[in-house]
Amino acid sequence: MKTTRWDSAEHLKTDEDIQLYLEACIEEAGDDPAFIVHALGVIARAKNMSQLARDTGLTREGLYKALSPEGNPTFSTVAKVAKALGLQITVQTAHKPHVTGSAGA
């Protein structure tokens, strides 16, 4: 069976594509921050890594390394990359199932 290489970066054409891709990756990542970092790397490649390096003030090589599956970027790097990509990092309360009653009451 012949397979072809799939590169998600080749399919991220619009800002909406990027938003939906990143949202899906964050949802799927669970407790794996490397998965999210890798997703940012895919988006960075889709948008132009050289331009992103200029916009963030980081080196192209440094970005490739930081945003690789083995990378471990600082939060500062993630924030710079997100801003340069036109993304905003937000936090919201996680929805937890409502539990009735109380064991201590």
Structural domain boundaries, residue 58: 32-90
**What are residue 66's phi and psi, to 5 degrees?**
-65, -35
Question: What is residue 99's predicted lDDT score, i.e. its pLDDT?
Answer: 67
- Structural domain count of the chain: 1
pLDDT value, residue 28: 92
Structure tokens of 88? 């905003």
The distance between the two most distant Cα atoms of the chain, rounded to a whole number of Å, is 63
pLDDT in 10s for each residue of the chain, 105 residues: 888 888 888 999 999 999 999 999 999 998 888 899 999 999 999 999 999 999 999 999 999 999 988 889 999 999 999 999 999 888 888 777 666 666 555
Please give the structure tokens belonging to residue 50: 């050289």
Domain contains 21: no
- The three-state (H, E, C) secondary structure of the chain, written as one string: CCCCCCCHHHHCCCHHHHHHHHHHHHHHHCCCHHHHHHHHHHHHHHHCHHHHHHHHCCCHHHHHHHCCCCCCCCHHHHHHHHHHCCCCCCCCCCCCCCCCCCCCC
pTM summary value: 0.77
**CATH number reported for the structural domain that contains residue 42 in this entry:** 1.10.260
Residue that the structure tokens 């990509």 belong to:
85
Q: Which two tokens stand for residue 78?
A: 């993630």
Q: What is the pLDDT of residues 61-72, one digit of tens each?
A: 999 999 988 889
